[in-house]
Amino acid sequence: MTNTDQALRILETALLCGQQALTVRDMQTLYQETLSDPEIRGLLDQLAASWEGKGIELVEVATGWRFQSRLEMREYLDRLHPEKPPRYTRATMETLAIIAYRQPVTRGDMEDIRGVTINSLLIKQLEDRGWVEVIGHREAPGRPALFATTKQFLDDLGLASLGDLPPLEAMGQANADMLADAVSGVSGVSELLMAAPEVAAITAGVGDVAGLEPVDVQNLSLPVADPAAPSV
């Protein structure tokens, strides 16, 4: 076995057995700091390629690298755990969309965009879920809290950064296929896309909110991510 083969074996084992995503720094610790950042990333590329065509894949998310089931496998894995994921109201999903695309924002900003008062319990629900957090305070009367999304939010959507979110304008142009995908729970990103088309119109400053096609967002929910592959 070559040194590269052994390095890949070590890395693959650590990623498969890990309970959470591993950073490049974590991976360097595996090799007692003997491998550089580019060398680690080269191993990650090789490892990802070796899993092509299989039911799980190696992906980079906000907190690092992890193995997770491919989206097309979700319907089969759900049969093992038929319980339904948490449901979120229209107001909750609209608020989450505002924070995701306009962060950092205050509660007042959100209320101005939505045009209604936001219940503090709604924001607490998002905080308890680990999707949003207070990152500071605006220098204004009362120093209102500034809310932003967390790395956990990106991890649960399977995204590496906020830059991977679909363009805001796509939220108001999602087609029927994307809606069907969202309702079936296949794609967390699609569910966020469809969650608040009215918010997209308001924040983008285009279109008449009342003229948009209504979407039944009360029956949508963001899926819980698979933090790792099934035990092997």
The domains located in the chain, with CATH, are 3-77 (1.10.10.10), 90-219 (1.10.10.10)
Task: Please name the amino acid found at residue 88.
Answer: Y
d(CA 52, CA 133): 36
12-25 per-residue burial string, b: 16 or more CB within 10 A, e: under 16: beebbebeebbebe
Instruction: Give the H/E segment covering residue 49.
Output: helix 37-50
What are the structure tokens assigned to 193, written together?
């896309």
Average pLDDT over residues 84-100: 78
Percentage of the chain surpassing pLDDT 90? 33
d(CA 50, CA 48): 5
Q: What is the pLDDT of residue 170?
A: 54
Q: What are phi and psi of 231, to 5 degrees?
A: -60, 140
Residues in Cβ contact with 221 at an 8 Å cutoff, skipping those fewer than 6 apart: 84, 85, 86, 87, 88, 185, 191
Query: Residue 184: pLDDT above 80?
Result: no
Average pLDDT over residues 211-221: 31
Instruction: Please tell me whether the overall predicted TM-score, pTM, comes out greater than 0.75 for this model.
Output: no
Q: Write out pLDDT tens, residues 110-121.
A: 888 888 898 888
Are 58 and 8 contacting, i.e. CB atoms less than 8 angstroms apart?
no
Q: Is the dihedral of CA 53, 54, 58, 59 positive or negative?
A: positive
CA 92 to chain centre: 16
Confidence of residue 85 (pLDDT cuts 50, 70, 90): low
Query: Residue 76: pLDDT above 70?
Result: yes
Query: Residue 214: pLDDT above 90?
Result: no
Average pLDDT over residues 99-124: 88
Confidence of residue 106 (pLDDT cuts 50, 70, 90): very high
Residues in Cβ contact with 84 at an 8 Å cutoff, skipping those fewer than 6 apart: 221
